[in-house]
Structure 1
Amino acid sequence: MIDELKQVGPRIRAIRHSRGWTLEQLAAMAEMSPSTLSRLESGKRQASLELLIPLTRHLGVGLDSLVTPSVPDPRVRRPVIRRDGMEIAPLTPEGSPVSTFKITYEPVTEVPEPRVHDGYEWLYVLSGKLRLLLGDRDLVLTRGEAAEFDTRVPHAMFATGSRPAQVLSIFNSDGVRMHTHTAEE
């Protein structure tokens, strides 16, 4: 919170400049001395509600726009999940409304049983060949191809050929549970 308060003065100055007002003009409107406003803008004076409320009224901004929280670290650091011959790398933060994963499917010797669950899946093949069994369709998707389907239709996916297939997959919460949780969870 201390870092956010340090930004109040520079934000007031930036808004004042964007309005084309001098220090003296804004200080007069807010009924404070130019030296008080100058010290506030430079961080030499602590921001208080007594000072900020008249300033925000005249600047036409809310208090929350002056005390914006710092930007959190946007990097996603979640462990890779390995199950059923797949390596599943989460690409979105836990709890996101839509979850994205990079999934590596290894070639298989036996065709997996098709599964059914609530939801939708969207996928994009990054490399290799992905075989998609979807209802009565048997499709092979290659690099650059995408698919979207209702997961209530029986489906199975696996790499075909001798190389793994890397896929970007987007699931809703039902798909996340089905693909990333084991039977014991």
Structure 2
Amino acid sequence: MASEFAESASTALVGPRLRAARQDRGLTLEDVAARAGMSVSTLSRLESGKRQASLELLVPLTRLLGIRLDDLVRPDAVDPRVRRPARRRGGVVIAPLTLEDSPVSTFKITYPAVSELPELRVHDGYEWLYVLSGRLRLRLGDQDLELEPGEAAEFDTRTPHAMSAAGSGAVEVLSIFNAAGERMHTRSG
């Protein structure tokens, strides 16, 4: 099994990731090598890619550094471009700006001009937003706010809230959600 791992793990990726994990924790080569029961030379050669990675060497290091083997051997993203289609929901256009498995979800949302503010909603989550163009009406609890381009807001989505364009034109907003907020704002009806 160790030999299978050694063949599949690219030392070109493992070494720099191992070094970064050690340095992020403020540890020296000497500190880590001593605690992991290996020579400083072995650790240095692993980090520089001059020594083949094996499970026998990496398991104690990952435990010591508090990382997973997957953190060391995951492949680099092949294509970082986001190619998710925009969706329409009730006249609102929701364009994803992050990959589907990102820890934070970001969208460009275009709210059309409407005569009445949508119904106030409450749900788990958190939202950060930034007005790109147009004017945004944000009803947040008892507050009725208008935000202009360049203005931002952040709020707990457990506060009753609703958004729409203010005035006769559409508004474009950059919205960032945690996982719970993203599900409610972009996937529910």
Q: Same fold (TM over 0.5)?
A: yes
Secondary structure in 2 aligned to 1:61? helix
- Report the TM-score when normalising by structure 2: 0.63
- 2:105 pairs with 1:120: no
2:182 counterpart (170, 176, 184): 176
Q: What secondary structure is seen at the aligned counterpart in 2 of 1:138?
A: strand
Does 2:137 correspond to 1:131? yes
> Would the alpha carbon gap of residues 111 and 69 (structure 1) be closer, same or farther in structure 2, given more than 3 Å must change?
closer
The Cα offsets for residues 25-50 of structure 1, whole Å up to 9 and x where unpaired, read as xxxxxxxxxxxxxxxxxxxxxxxxxx
Give distance in 2, aligned partners of 1:182 and 1:100: 16
Q: What is the TM-score normalised by the length of structure 1?
A: 0.64
- Shift in alpha-carbon separation, 1:68–1:180, aligned structure 2, 3 A: closer
The answer to whether the aligner puts 1:151 opposite 2:136 as a matched pair is: no
Match of 1:75 in 2: 81
Distance in 1 (alpha carbons) for counterparts of 2:185 and 2:125: 12
SS in structure 2 of the partner of residue 176 of structure 1: helix
Q: 1:86 is aligned with what amino acid? A: V
**May I ask how many residue pairs the two structures share in their alignment?**
137
Aligned equivalents of 1:70, 1:119: Cα separation in 2: 30
Counterpart-to-counterpart distance in 2, 1:60 and 1:177: 45
How big is the shift at 1:93? 0.8
Match of 1:89 among 86, 91, 95: 95
147, 171, 187: which one aligns with 1:165? 171
Shift of 1:139: 0.3
Rounded Cα–Cα distance in structure 2 between residues aligned with 1:104 and 1:71: 29
CA gap of 1:58–1:145, structure 2 versus 1, over 3 A, is closer
Counting aligned pairs with the same residue, the percent is: 62
2:46 alignment partner, SS class: coil
* Pairing 1:141–2:126 present: no
CA positional deviation for 1:68? 8.2
Q: Please list every run of 5 or more consecutive structure 2 residues that lacks an aligned counterpart in the other structure.
A: 1-6, 16-40, 54-72
Structure 1 unaligned residues grouped into runs of 5+:
12-55
In the alignment, the residues of structure 2 paired with residue 59 and residue 178 of structure 1 have an alpha-carbon distance, to the nearest angstrom, of 48
**Distance (Å, rounded) in 2 between the aligned partners of 1:112 and 1:105:** 11
- Are residues 153 and 93 of structure 1, via their aligned partners in 2, closer, same or farther at CA, if it must alter by over 3 Å? same
Residues 1:111 and 2:154 are matched in the alignment: no
| 1:19-30 paired onto structure 2 within 5 Å | none
In structure 2, the residue matched to 1:16 is none
Q: Flag the structure with larger Rg.
A: 1
1:60 corresponds to which residue? 45
State the AA in 1 paired with 2:46: V
CA distance in 2, matches of 1:71, 1:85: 34
